[in-house]
Chain A
Amino acid sequence: MKRIILTIALMATAAFASMSARADGTNTPPPASTEQRLESLEAYISNGDPTAPLKDTNGNVVVTSPIINSGLQNSTGATVNYPGAGHNAWLLTSTALVLFMTLPGLALFYGGLVRRKNVLSVLAQCFLITGLVTILWVFVGYGMIFGGTGDMTKDWVKGIVGDPKVCWMMNNVTSAPNGNYSYWVSENVLAMFQLMFAIITPALIVGSIAERMKFKAIFVFITLWMFVVYFTQGHMVWGINGLMNGVWNAGAKIKAMDFAGGTVVHMTSGYTGLVLCLILGKRLGFPKGNFTPHSLVLTYIGTGMLWVGWYGFNSGSAVAGDVIAANAFTTTTIATAIASFVWPMCDWLFRGKPTVLGFCSGAVAGLVAITPACGYVTPQGAIVIGIAVAVICWFMVNKVKGWLGYDDALDTFGVHAIGGTLGAIMTGMFARNAVNANLATNLKAYVTDHVFQPLVWEQVKAVGVTLALVIPSTIILAYITKLFVGLRPTEEVEMAGLDVAEHGEEGYHG
């Protein structure tokens, strides 16, 4: 009897003890140890996941730590850590730099290349795109590329269009980082950074169709194009579930990589420019009349601004102020400076004089080609890319364009499409494990540190998918635009210049 009572008492004590233990577990997890908190902070230095040291083997956070007591949620619904000041600061700076590329960089670069009667039309088009794309981006664009939890089955179109429901109208896009893209940069900063890319891409198209497309037509075409081409291509390449996001998506069908937008920005805009300029036809009087740039001084200033801004574009695409950002800054400088040197040397050798437009064109071509590569290749790779892009784009713009006779007014195709394609393929040739440790995560079999590594073929496939999306889409959207609002202004307006007819202003008086 005594034994039975003792047993019951012991069982009751044990049950009570386990119940109280369970209650403790659900209400307040124990504080993280000093060691765990230190590991969390070390992740800041290496741009790693600060919650990793706080999780159990099942991936649940089991301790409390000030770093995750932010109370902030991101658009995936997870409660996450505070953003890291340094990484955030670099992305805030980069965002401003990329806006600086469009306004005023690209606007002045293009503005100087057109005739004086059309200078304001180019400036107006760049500014129109800035506002228009921001509206589309806030509304649904960000979510179409970056929305979703990382669960591919929830994509609107699997691997092709993301899931914008959770961040519709920027809902839930807060200062908390979105671990799918960065552990330390606020998601709203990421969204603004990526918005600047979405702005400059359609602005690049303006170069091909300059001086001869109605403002209204540009408005309609760009709106449609952003949905069909840009947001789609963006998710395929950069979305966490993207079809071609070889670096981060283990399930990617094509194991390609594009660090800062060789396919997303330069190939999409460049090939769209070519198709659109063929559909529009040549400018009146081309090529017999006088189509000389009205101010190479403006073009020169714009080029300098583009180069400076491009550091944000390329180095900021690390989405951190880390070792990869440092490498991207270095390779961007090397490839650009070399291309800006080689292009005018080609002018000098084959045309007799080194031209100022040659210096400017070479710099832009170098920036374009290093864009997809900058966070993956070594400085030696950047040298090869810089030389190759200058020679090939020089040949396209100076020779092939004349032979074929299309009127790509400011050479968006010759520089951005050709440079972007070349950059994408050369990224495949020169990406090295030593530069970017993330390549070992999903691409071990593809990046073998040789010029003809398997990655090259994946990059060629990505180029193919990009062209298959861009070219038919542009043809269809151009004819839809033509049907509803028409594409070209009247001959009278085109001869007089778009500035007065479409904007009621002149660039220069007196």
Chain B
Amino acid sequence: MKKIEAIIKPFKLEEVKDALSEIGIEGMTVTEVKGFGRQKGHTEIYRGSEYTVDFLPKIKLELVVADTQTDAAVAAIIKSAKTGKIGDGKVFVSAVETAVRIRTEEKGESAV
């Protein structure tokens, strides 16, 4: 099993979710987050004062998939979240030791 974490632009969330559903991914967790990478923040002006906003709003998507689905899922995220402009985000993949479905207590890949 692998855990895929993707930081994406907020307005891309719908497209990414649809792309993942299409390849049979059945669940995911979404969090509103703030952060910056190479894009950095932006400047806001209120009357005479300029303020730099360092942390930009992003969406963090987390999903745990079977090893065989990993590449397809990562490809689907990249394809649907890409605008080609700075600030598109990142995808991280890591190994997951185990998973349990609370209702049935199923373990392993059948639980995700």
State the CA gap A505–B48 with chains docked (Å). Answer: 31
Contact status B51-A290, CB under 8 Å? yes
Q: A398 touches which one: B44, B47, B51, B53 (CB < 8 A)?
A: B47
Contact status B48-A292, CB under 8 Å? no
* B53 CB contacts on chain A under 8 angstroms: 292
* A357 CB contacts on chain B under 8 angstroms: 46-47
Chain B minimum-CB-distance residue to A113: B46
Shortest C-beta distance, B82 to chain A (Å), equals 28
State the CA gap A397–B46 with chains docked (Å). Answer: 10
B interface: dominant SS: strand
Shortest C-beta distance, B42 to chain A (Å), equals 12
User: Which of A290, A293, A401 counts the most B-chain CB atoms under 10 A from its CB?
Assistant: A290
Contact status A292-B47, CB under 8 Å? no
Q: B46 touches which one: A292, A399, A414 (CB < 8 A)?
A: A292
Interfacial residues, chain B to chain A (CB-CB below 8 A): 44-49, 51, 53
Chain B minimum-CB-distance residue to A286: B49
State the CA gap A9–B46 with chains docked (Å). Answer: 97
Shortest C-beta distance, A418 to chain B (Å), equals 13
* B47 CB contacts on chain A under 8 angstroms: 357, 361, 397-398, 401, 411, 414
* A414 CB contacts on chain B under 8 angstroms: 47
State the CA gap A357–B48 with chains docked (Å). Answer: 11
Contact status A397-B51, CB under 8 Å? no
* A397 CB contacts on chain B under 8 angstroms: 47-48
User: Can you offer 22 A-B residue contacts whose CB atoms are under 8 A?
Assistant: A287-B49, A290-B51, A291-B49, A291-B51, A292-B44, A292-B51, A292-B53, A293-B46, A351-B45, A353-B45, A355-B45, A355-B46, A357-B47, A361-B47, A397-B47, A397-B48, A398-B48, A399-B48, A401-B48, A402-B48, A402-B49, A411-B47
Shortest C-beta distance, B46 to chain A (Å), equals 6
* A399 CB contacts on chain B under 8 angstroms: 48
Q: A292-B44, A401-B47 are in contact. List 19 more A-B contacts (CB 8 A).
A: A287-B49, A291-B46, A291-B51, A292-B46, A292-B51, A351-B45, A353-B45, A355-B45, A357-B46, A357-B47, A361-B47, A397-B47, A398-B47, A398-B48, A399-B48, A401-B48, A402-B48, A411-B47, A414-B47
The 7 closest A-B pairs by CB, nearest first: A402-B48, A401-B48, A398-B48, A397-B47, A292-B51, A397-B48, A290-B51
User: Which of B44, B45, B48, B51 counts the most A-chain CB atoms under 10 A from its CB?
Assistant: B48
* A293 CB contacts on chain B under 8 angstroms: 46
* B45 CB contacts on chain A under 8 angstroms: 351, 353, 355
Chain B minimum-CB-distance residue to A287: B49
State the CA gap A291–B46 with chains docked (Å). Answer: 9
Shortest C-beta distance, B67 to chain A (Å), equals 40
Shortest C-beta distance, B73 to chain A (Å), equals 34
Shortest C-beta distance, A246 to chain B (Å), equals 35
Shortest C-beta distance, B106 to chain A (Å), equals 35
Chain B minimum-CB-distance residue to A292: B51
Beta-carbon contacts of A396-410 to B below 8 Å, as 1s and 0s? Answer: 011101100000000
Chain B minimum-CB-distance residue to A401: B48
* A291 CB contacts on chain B under 8 angstroms: 46, 49, 51
State the CA gap A293–B46 with chains docked (Å). Answer: 8
Shortest C-beta distance, A311 to chain B (Å), equals 26
Beta-carbon contacts of A89-118 to B below 8 Å, as 1s and 0s? Answer: 000000000000000000000000000000
State the CA gap A398–B49 with chains docked (Å). Answer: 8
